[in-house]
Amino acid sequence: MKKIPQRMCVSCRERRNKKDLLRVVLSEDGNIIYDPTGKAPGRGAYLCRQQSCIMTELKAHRLSKGLKQSLTDDQLKALADEILALCAEEKALEE
Ligand SMILES: [Zn+2]
């Protein structure tokens, strides 16, 4: 049986299948970007595909700790907007 890779959401700290999580990665220039491929180089962190987890996370600045890099509110907000827009798109496709 093939083992499914598990990752922990930095917001709720639940372990989930890697494919069920969103990966964000810290780019070389210190920016935080959403990584849809899950393979971008750099230090990454994982979040549930849930608005609650994403918003809680961004407010608590846990991502900064997880990535060992302080991020500005603007960076976090831009990331949240991108992810939430994406989640809304995916949801629209499912319906
Ligand atoms: Zn979560």
Domains of the chain with CATH codes: 6-94 (3.30.1230.10)
Q: What is the rounded CA–CA span in Å between residue 38 and residue 43? A: 11
Q: What is the rounded CA–CA span in Å between residue 32 and residue 50? A: 18
14: left (phi > 0), else alpha (psi -120 to 50), else beta? beta
pLDDT in tens, 9-25: 988 999 999 988 999 99
* Distance from the alpha carbon of residue 89 to the mean position of ligand 1, in angstroms: 20
**Reported confidence tier of residue 7, pLDDT bands at 50, 70, 90:** very high
Ion ligand 1: protein residues whose beta carbon lies under 5 Å: 9, 11-12, 48, 53
Single out the residue of 73, 69, 29, 28 nearest to residue 45, CA to CA: 69
* Distance from the alpha carbon of residue 13 to the mean position of ligand 1, in angstroms: 6
Which tokens belong to 56? 């809680």
Q: What type of residue sits at position 72?
A: T
Name residue, tokens 């608590």. 60
**Reported confidence tier of residue 56, pLDDT bands at 50, 70, 90:** confident
> Does residue 1 carry a pLDDT above 80?
no
